[in-house]
Amino acid sequence: MEKKLLVESVKFMEQFVSEKRVNLVNSNADNRTRYITVVLENIFQAQNASAVMRSCDCFGIQDLHVIENSNEYTLNPDVVMGSSKWVDLYRYNEKEENTLDTIHSLKKNGYRIIATTPHTNDILLPDFDLKKGKAAFFFGTELTGLSDVVMNNADEFVKIPMYGFTESFNISVSAALVLNHLSTEIRRENVNWSLSETEKLELKLEWLKKSVRKGDKLLEEFFLRFKNE
């Protein structure tokens, strides 16, 4: 969609929501990032999967990638708390090897593949270098962790500092800890983490559409009018 149409579409949809909602949409779009993204591999517990999506929304992470090799990604409405409306979900479940497909897709889009695991001696989370470029953080199941495919194709390995007897965090806790640290650090570092102006407009339009009753129909009518003017 061309930028002029995007701008006019956003203005049109803003008429149907409160000023408070408009300000919230604008503020959240300004704080969204795709510099960091999250990838869940074969998560089977709906509660944990939902908690990760909720964390993505809370920490301003716009994209969540889900690999469904043998477990379908399901959401628990009581946990996700509506965050699925605001986060873009990408599901990988159509290939023979969905994990490799996900890795190739992310690398093609300029992401480093970061395996989060307590079983390597590479980088502690506080030492992770955000300036090296965009990063996709992979999280595996509590039972088996990340697959060999991820481990063999990862560019870097990151672990959360731990000081107790238990060897790992719950998957949703791990994701929240990682995102809390990274979402704070990218705002301190000299990196271009923000969305482009066009991406922000696209996001605002999508969010406004979801904020309005029959938003799809209203927008469709606007497009027809705009096209005929």
CATH of the domain at 104: 3.40.1280.10
- What average pLDDT does this structure show over 21-46? 93
**Residue 40 forms part of a structural domain:** yes
**Residue 225 forms part of a structural domain:** no
Is the pTM for the entire model greater than 0.85?
Answer: yes
The SS3 of residue 221 is: helix
Counting residues of the chain whose pLDDT is more than 70, the rounded percentage is 93
Structure-model confidence comparison of residues 215 and 49, the more confident one: 215
- What average pLDDT does this structure show over 23-32? 97
The answer to whether the beta carbons of residues 198 and 3 sit under 8 Å apart is yes
**Residue 82 forms part of a structural domain:** yes
- Look at residue 119 and tell me whether its pLDDT is greater than 70: no
- Mean pLDDT lowest among 17-21, 44-48, 101-105, 138-142: 44-48
Phi, psi of 137 (to 5 degrees): -95, 120
Instruction: Identify the band that residue 77 occupies on the pLDDT scale cut at 50, 70 and 90.
Output: low
The answer to whether the beta carbons of residues 171 and 134 sit under 8 Å apart is no
The answer to whether the beta carbons of residues 43 and 66 sit under 8 Å apart is yes
Domain assignment of residue 98, given as a range: 33-193
Instruction: Identify the band that residue 82 occupies on the pLDDT scale cut at 50, 70 and 90.
Output: confident
How many structural domains does the chain have?
1
Structure-model confidence comparison of residues 148 and 228, the more confident one: 148
- What average pLDDT does this structure show over 1-22? 92
Q: What is the C-alpha separation between 133 and 122, in angstroms, rounded?
A: 18
Query: Which residue blocks in 59-170 are alpha helix, DSSP H?
Result: 77-80, 98-108, 148-153
The answer to whether the beta carbons of residues 158 and 58 sit under 8 Å apart is no
In one letter, which amino acid is 101?
A: D
Instruction: Identify the band that residue 127 occupies on the pLDDT scale cut at 50, 70 and 90.
Output: very high
**Residue 147 forms part of a structural domain:** yes
**Residue 154 forms part of a structural domain:** yes
**Residue 128 forms part of a structural domain:** yes
Question: Taking Cα atoms as reference points, which of 152, 158, 178, 151 lies closest to residue 118?
Answer: 158
**Residue 100 forms part of a structural domain:** yes
